[in-house]
Amino acid sequence: MTYKNFTVETDADGIALVTWDMPDKSMNVFTVEVMEEIEQILAATVADAGVKGVVFTSGKSTFSGGADLTMIRGMFTMLHEEQARDPQAAKQKLFEAAGRMSWLWRKIETNGKPWVSAINGTCMGGAFELSLACHGRVASNAKSVKIALPEVKVGIFPGAGGTQRVSRLTDAQSALQMMTTGQSLTASRAKAMGLVHQVVEPDQLIPAAKQMIKDGLKPVAPWDEKGFKVPGGGVWTPAAAQLFPAAPAILRRETAGNYPGALAILKCVYEGLQLPFDTALKVEQRYFTQVLGTTEAFSMIRSLFISMQELGKGARRPAGVEKTQIRKVGVVGAGFMGASIAYVTAAAGIPVVLIDRDQEAADKGKAHSEKLVSDQVGKGRMTKEEGEKLLSLVTPTPDYSTLADVDLVVEAVFEDRAVKKAVIEQVEAVIAPTTIFASNTSTLPITGLAENSKRPDQFIGVHFFSPVEKMMLTEVILGEKTGDKALAMALDFVAKIKKTPIVVNDTRGFFVNRCVFRYINEAYDMLAEGVPAAMIENAAKMAGMPVGPLSLNDEVAVDLSQKIMRASIADLGEASVKPEHMKLIDKMVDELDRRGRKNGKGFYEYPAKPAKKFLWPGLKDLYPQKPASEVDVNVLKQRFLVTIALEAARTVEEGIVTDPREADVGSILGFGFAPYTGGTLSYIDGMGVSNFVALAEKLEAQYGDHFAPTPLLRDMAAKGETFYTRFDPYGNVGKAA
């Protein structure tokens, strides 16, 4: 029998080597067809008396990344369509779909012949759950092997037996830790936890897996043996009595109860460990169905899994422009941002010339790469040779003529129109006619900067976020005259350095910073109302924001806020900034010299380490304080999310953002907008546009007209539309804005 996605070769010892190698994919993923073929292989190996056992492996450099986008999208589409017709039948169908993988893995586990999973590379989600259902697991010790059950990161949980098998192989605390964080394990860590049996050299993987079978591996899972005992003793032990009551509290501290998937893991483990295995799987299936039906799971899967991958793969790349091979990049301005941009470029294997005003400044920029490389080598994340190779790709120089053969220039000089104008002219005097010029400006509109260029169609904004090495997002900004080639090159570059791009049209603050300012401004309003600062910060975190607004303002610098506010007043008039905000920030900067973390005092105090930062006590003297009992934390939470979501909606209304996936992904990756909502627009869609409009009106009545719902939102509410129906992203794919 032949299969599309697998080859099966049975050797003289009767061991069938099943190799998963999907012909049209770079990584193996679970599709409906793959599941069917696994079922057929299982039936065939069971039926064939000549087969003594099965080794399951991958023919690609990775084992498998888990589920396939189209399968997941198909499941949600089915659910939505069915729900409208017959909600009860929809639930039943979802329950069956949710259990499909789980029961197939159980069939493998109980088939009567030994199966060994030979893990040769990254093994994620459902693929590791399949491995857990095999009777033996051997992993290669290659650095590329990463093992994880990361489902919680997209709003769900390991629902194909993962919660039950992991908690029966390792102690409950480690099991909960692994699954509620979705952390990646090295092969040796997985072995230490009891999740894999052997770790071997890569070339010994298949022989070792076959040897397990030849050595008489029993085709019975430990939990199917009589007298099986859960590691650590299960839930009725003194240790468990300490762990399980505390676990929900710890989870609540970490997630503020916003993630149903994470909570379901606790329930599955706690309840499942008290039940026979098959019943436990059914309990897991029920919780899985329940979680899959939540708005959080739907929105997180859409944004953090499907949309993120689609944008990463160039969903907004103009069709018809050939993929560009970026052979060399020039970075002009070797300061804080330029130095990091040069590093990530070299880390992607692209040679970079790093230019500054003199050799010393350029060298200083390269020193940043040297420091990062030495840290990585020190931590064992990079070999010395890899580090040397990376550094050899960065050439620091003040000489602009070295830009003659670059494909792309990224400009990161001072945020000053005159300096940028001079640099644009100097660069264009030496670059080739096809070279694309990208500015990393954070506030200056691209169309205006492009007026200094002789080739505005080859001029674009590529806005990085700090710290560049860590932040996954890059905002690509189209000037009025930016052409498709510039967009394609920018997107190819962003893909090469492994960041996720969003493409937006030109506006003051672009997308991300416009939203971030709303977040910080709301905190200024709250301070002025007398809300205690600690409540402001905590409410924001309870709403799902990773960093409180005052803490964030300290990080970006309070005097930078002042500069931006003053520039807004100069360009757009007094009404563009609330006088109360300007007064607060002028006082912080001019009177109190509280500029943020950089000078050790801002909204927080920064004592010498190891002491932790704490809110500046003087804040409460700036405004008469309200007693905490008079402040409704839920309203504070709503204000933060609604003001940001409204700004995102305005960017759509103004045509700045044209694809809802970008507002969602951009808001999560750019400033951590409550990920459980799926992002700014999914937050609105998730509660329903008319509910959102009603909520915004309520807030408007109490807290000001910046909460007024926009005409677009009112129109959408009246028509019963969502952002994903009105601005259907799949009609947009491939089109430049």
Positions annotated as catalytic residues are 463
Q: Which of 101, 423, 438, 644 binds ligand NAD (CB under 6 A)?
A: 423
Q: Quick check: 376 and 382 in contact, CB under 8 A? A: yes
| Shortest separation between residue 612's beta carbon and ligand NAD, angstroms | 23
Task: Specify the DSSP class assigned to residue 276.
Answer: -
Looking only at residues 241 through 260 of this chain, which bind ligand NAD when binding is defined by CB under 6 A? none
CB 675, min distance to ligand NAD, A = 22
Binding mask 455-484 for ligand NAD (x = CB under 6 A): --------xx-x------------------
Residue 359 interacts with ligand NAD (CB under 6 A)? no
Name which of 39 and 363 has its Cβ closer to ligand NAD: 363
Task: Report, in Å, the least distance between residue 669 CB and ligand NAD.
Answer: 14
> Quick one: 332 or 460, whose CB is closer to ligand NAD?
332
Tokens of 574: 């007094």
543 makes contact with ligand NAD (CB under 6 A): no
Query: Does 554 sit near ligand NAD (CB under 6 A)?
Result: no
Q: Does 344 bind ligand NAD (CB under 6 A)?
A: no
- Give the one residue of 228, 236, 336, 730 binding ligand NAD; rule: CB under 6 A: 336
| Count of positions (residues) in the chain | 737
C-alpha span between 179 and 106 (Å, rounded):
20
Say how far apart CA 58 and CA 21 lie, in whole Å: 6
Nearest in space to 310 (alpha carbons), one of 504, 28, 73, 648:
73
The Cα–Cα gap between 439 and 467 comes to 17
- Each residue of 570-590: b (16+ CB within 10 Å) or e? eeeeeeebbeebbebbeebbe
Please tell me whether residue 439 adopts helix, strand or coil conformation: strand
Instruction: Determine phi and psi for 153, rounding to 5 degrees.
Output: -70, -20
Backbone angles phi, psi at 705, to 5 degrees: -75, -5
d(CA 268, CA 367): 50
Contact stretch for ligand NAD (CB under 6 A) within 79-87, 302-310, 350-358, 522-530 = 350-358
| Smaller CB separation from ligand NAD, 155 or 338 | 338
DSSP 454-480: S-GGGEEEEEE-SSTTT--EEEEEE-T
Instruction: Count other C-beta atoms under 10 Å from residue 31's C-beta.
Output: 18
356 lies in the binding site for ligand NAD (CB under 6 A) = yes
Query: Taking the chain, what is the end-to-end CA distance rounded to the nearest angstrom?
Result: 49
323 counts as binding ligand NAD under rule CB under 6 A: no
Total of chain residues touching ligand NAD, rule CB under 6 A: 24
Residues facing 473 on adjacent strands:
500
Give least dist CB 464 to ligand NAD, A: 6
Question: Does residue number 105 form part of the binding site for ligand NAD (CB under 6 A)?
Answer: no
Other Cβ atoms closer than 10 A to 89:
11
Contact between 332 and ligand NAD by CB under 6 A: the answer reads yes
Q: Is 334 in the site for ligand NAD (CB under 6 A)?
A: yes
Rounded to the nearest whole angstrom, what is the least distance from the CB of residue 336 to ligand NAD in the complex?
3
Nearest distance in Å: CB 594, ligand NAD: 19
Of 294 and 440, which CB lies nearer to ligand NAD in the complex structure? 440
- Contacts with ligand NAD in 684-703 (CB under 6 A)? none
d(CA 438, CA 344): 16
Identify the bridge partners of residue 148 per DSSP, sorted by sequence position.
Answer: 124, 184
What 8-state DSSP symbol labels residue 198? Answer: E
Residue 382 near residue 373 (C-beta atoms within 8 A):
yes
Strand runs labelled E in 480-555: 500-505
Q: How many angstroms separate the CA atoms of 527 and 627, rounded?
A: 13
From 91-99, 114-122, 419-427, 584-592, span contacting ligand NAD (CB under 6 A): 419-427
367 binds ligand NAD (CB under 6 A): no
State the amino acid at position 115 in one-letter form.
W
What does the angle CA 52 – CA 56 – CA 62 come to, to the nearest 5 degrees? 165
330 contacts ligand NAD (rule: CB under 6 A): no
* One residue of 102, 164, 441, 474 binding ligand NAD per CB under 6 A: 441
CA–CA distance, 390 with 318 (Å, rounded to integer): 31
526 interacts with ligand NAD by CB under 6 A: no
Locate 451 and state its tokens: 């007026």
Identify which of residues 180 and 440 has a Cβ nearer to ligand NAD in the complex: 440
Cβ of residue 516: shortest distance to ligand NAD, in angstroms?
A: 11
Give whichever of 509 and 679 is closer to ligand NAD, judged by the CB atom: 509
Interface segment toward ligand NAD; rule CB under 6 A; list 123-131, 333-341, 373-381, 590-598: 333-341
355 contacts ligand NAD (rule: CB under 6 A): yes
Place of tokens 């992904």: 665
Task: State yes or no: residue 553 binds ligand NAD (CB under 6 A).
Answer: no
Is residue 357 part of the contact set for ligand NAD (CB under 6 A)?
Answer: yes
Q: Is 39 in the site for ligand NAD (CB under 6 A)?
A: no
Using CB positions, name the residue nearest to ligand NAD: 335
Give the footprint of ligand NAD on this chain (CB under 6 A): 332-338, 355-357, 361, 412-415, 419, 422-423, 440-442, 463-464, 466
